[in-house]
Amino acid sequence: MGTTMDMEEMLQKIKDRQWALADIDWDAPGAELITDEMRPKLKAFMADLCWIENVGARGFAAMAKKAPNDTIAEIYRYFHAEEQRHANAELALLKRWGMLEDGEIPEPNVNIRLAIEWLDKYADNMSLSVLGTVIPMLEVALDGALLKFLLDEVDDPICHAVFEKINNDESRHIAVDFAVLDMLGHAKARKLAIEFVSGVASPGLIIGALMYIPLLNRVRNEVVDMGLQPERLYGAMGRFKKLGDRGEATHRVPLYQVLKWHAAMVIDPKHPYHLLANTMVTLSDHYPKFLLRPIPSWFKELTYEPVSSTVDKPGTRKDAA
């Protein structure tokens, strides 16, 4: 398998590179660099980013149950926690910028809510080859790429310090994501075909696509709203193809081909795809709230507090200060 990644070594590296909210001086000067004009949009964007981290976290939780061996399972356990860490750190930035009341956790938008419902319902039943293809896309397109935008816009040095840490984590996530994707490509063609057909034809994945398409476009629109170039997002999606094609066997994973094709449509702003996708965003805004199921408890574990001194049950969060 050409250049296989030494997963034991990777796991050790992950363990050696852990960091915590307590490592950062959240009261250091620099918060004042956020202009009033930026505030509302930045808050919306950061809130989405933070929830997207949490969605990624749930994806890794599902992956951990499917991992081909104990080492990779342990790596996914860490990645699950690290996505949560990113979300916590992003919340802490929001708090630092005075965008959160005490104990406030921003509301997820409807697309996130739907994505979360989907994850909770279907992710654990998806095969590794499906999850192993979808997660890298989520990572390069949303998780890894979005935070790079911010750095162009925001001058706060603490924001830069935090995102440097997050980026370092993400580079390990992406390296493992694509190593596993390549590993999947080495499976027997028959197995790949069966998993593809059963995975893609499953209502789970179809509904998943219906969640993902508007989510991606909503974020794209937000990016544009903030006055950023959507090309950066497209560049990130292009990276999915670049990294994937670098793998020896990745191209053999059928779902990879589908996502690549999808990415190509997204990248092309004139593609009629955007008509469909944006219609879906609008539609989802009208999604009846009463149909949304209660937010699962794992979703309420987010916190901007570096220290926890007592037991916080979801929903009864007390501020440790």
Partner 1 sequence: MSTTTTEKRPRTRKPTTTHSTLIIGAGFTGLGTAIKLREAGVEDVVILERADRVGGTWRDNTYPGAACDIPSLLYSFSFAKNPNWSRAYSPADEICAHIEDITDDFDLRRLIQFDTEVTALDYDRREGTWTASTAGGQQYRARTVVLASGPLSNASFPNMRGIETFEGKKILSAQWDHDYDLTGKNVAVIGTGATAVQIIPEVVKKAASVKVFQRTPGWVMPRVDVPTPKLAQAVFAKVPAVQQAARNALFLSHEVAATGLVWDTPVTTLIQHVGRAHLRLTVKDAWMRRQLTPEFRAGCKRMLMSSDYYPALQKDNCKLITWPIATIVPEGIRTADAIEHHVDAIIFATGYDVQLGGPPYPITGTAGRVLQEEWAGHAQAYKSASTHGYPNLFFTAGPNSGPGHNSLLVYVQGQIDYAVAGIKTILDKDLVSLDVRPDVQAKYNESMQKRLKRTTWMSGCTSWYLTKDGFNGAMYPGFATQYLRQMKNFRAEDYDMVSHGARRLWNVPAAQAV
Q: Measured between alpha carbons, how far is 305 from 321 in angstroms, rounded to an integer?
A: 7
Q: Would you say 185 and 252 are in contact if contact means Cβ atoms under 8 Å apart? A: yes
- Residues contacting partner 1: total by CB under 8 A: 33
Our finding on whether 53 is near Fe ion (CB under 5 A) is yes
Our finding on whether 292 is near partner 1 (CB under 8 A) is no
Closest approach, Cβ 173 to Fe ion, in A, equals 4
Q: Looking at this protein, which amino acid is placed at residue 105?
A: I
Our finding on whether 231 is near partner 1 (CB under 8 A) is no
* Residue 2 structure tokens: 């050409």
Closest approach, Cβ 241 to partner 1, in A, equals 31
Nearer to partner 1, 248 or 301 (CB): 301
From the list 8, 25, 107, 124, which residue makes contact with partner 1 (rule: CB under 8 A)?
124
Q: Would you say 116 and 215 are in contact if contact means Cβ atoms under 8 Å apart? A: no
- Residues in the chain, how many? 321
Our finding on whether 33 is near partner 1 (CB under 8 A) is no
* Residue 98 structure tokens: 């005075």
Q: Measured between alpha carbons, how far is 197 from 189 in angstroms, rounded to an integer?
A: 12
Q: Would you say 88 and 317 are in contact if contact means Cβ atoms under 8 Å apart? A: no
Our finding on whether 282 is near partner 1 (CB under 8 A) is no
From the list 151, 175, 296, 317, which residue makes contact with partner 1 (rule: CB under 8 A)?
296
Closest approach, Cβ 302 to partner 1, in A, equals 9
Nearer to Fe ion, 48 or 143 (CB): 143
C-alpha triplet 77, 115, 58: angle, nearest 5°: 5
Chain-centroid distance, C-alpha 92: 18
Our finding on whether 173 is near Fe ion (CB under 5 A) is yes
Q: Which of partner 1, Fe ion, none sits in contact with 26, Cβ below 5 to 8 A by type?
A: none
Strands (E), 4-78: none
Q: Measured between alpha carbons, how far is 120 from 33 in angstroms, rounded to an integer?
A: 39
Our finding on whether 306 is near partner 1 (CB under 8 A) is yes
What is the pattern of x (binds Fe ion, CB under 5 A) and - over residues 116-155?
-----------------------x---x------------
Q: Which of residues 74-103 bind partner 1 (CB under 8 A)?
A: 74, 77-78, 81-82, 84-85, 88-89
3-state secondary structure of 138: helix
Q: Would you say 128 and 67 are in contact if contact means Cβ atoms under 8 Å apart? A: yes
Our finding on whether 80 is near Fe ion (CB under 5 A) is no
Closest approach, Cβ 265 to partner 1, in A, equals 35
Our finding on whether 177 is near Fe ion (CB under 5 A) is no
Q: Is the dihedral of CA 294, 297, 299, 303 positive or negative?
A: positive
Q: Measured between alpha carbons, how far is 180 from 143 in angstroms, rounded to an integer?
A: 18
> Interface residues with Fe ion (CB under 5 A)?
53, 83, 86, 139, 143, 170, 173
> Interface residues with partner 1 (CB under 8 A)?
15, 18-22, 65, 70, 74, 77-78, 81-82, 84-85, 88-89, 120, 124, 296-298, 301, 303, 305-313
